[in-house]
Copies of this chain bind each other. A is one copy, B any other.
Amino acid sequence: MDPQTPRDQFPFANARVARRWRKLLDERLKDLGVTQARWFTMVCLQRGGGGLTQRELAHLMTIENPTLVRLLDSLEEQGLIERRPCKRDRRARLLYLTHADERFMSDLNERANVLREEMLKGIENTDLEVALRVFERVMENSANLKNS
């Protein structure tokens, strides 16, 4: 069998970390009725500024529209976001965080920050920057593939 090279290991190790992050964050947000994915949705909506369409938000999150639809369904049901009709295009719907949840968002963000720092403890910023550059390059490379 081939020896394990850094290149071999990369995709698996990467996926493992992603699973761990999701699992631990889900655990810590559970009592607030929020999951990692729902929180991420709110973060992106906040960052995008409100008034985004679903397609725009999905693009920001780099997920597909049907995945977002379900996340929004649950967030809307919890009263954490609103879908308002768009006057310029009756197909589209504009997304807003409900203003009731500023406190709530701070709490979520705080918990996520704490977890993140626990997971990244002892890791240098310079190393994280290298990792981020690797991620970025992977995304660039894979953007041009699509087919075999």
| Residues of A near any B CB (own CB < 8 A) | 1, 5-22, 24, 28, 40, 46-47, 62-63, 116-123, 125, 127-139, 141-142, 145, 148
B6 & A125 in contact (Cβ 8 Å cutoff) = yes
Complex: how many Å from CA A63 to CA B63?
Answer: 23
Contact of A116 among B11, B116, B136 (CB under 8 A): B11
- For residue A11, which residues in chain B have a CB less than 8 angstroms away from its CB? 18, 21, 116, 119
Complex: how many Å from CA A24 to CA B147?
Answer: 9
B16 & A14 in contact (Cβ 8 Å cutoff) = no
- For residue A120, which residues in chain B have a CB less than 8 angstroms away from its CB? 7, 10, 138, 141
B129 & A6 in contact (Cβ 8 Å cutoff) = yes
The dominant DSSP class at the A interface is helix
Contact of A21 among B14, B123, B125, B134 (CB under 8 A): B14
A125 to chain B, nearest CB (A): 6
Can you name 27 A-B residue pairings with CB atoms under 8 Å? Answer: A1-B46, A5-B125, A6-B125, A6-B128, A7-B120, A10-B120, A10-B128, A10-B131, A10-B132, A11-B18, A11-B116, A13-B132, A13-B135, A14-B14, A14-B131, A15-B18, A15-B21, A15-B22, A17-B135, A18-B18, A20-B139, A20-B142, A118-B142, A118-B145, A119-B142, A127-B134, A130-B131
Contact of A62 among B9, B19, B125 (CB under 8 A): B19
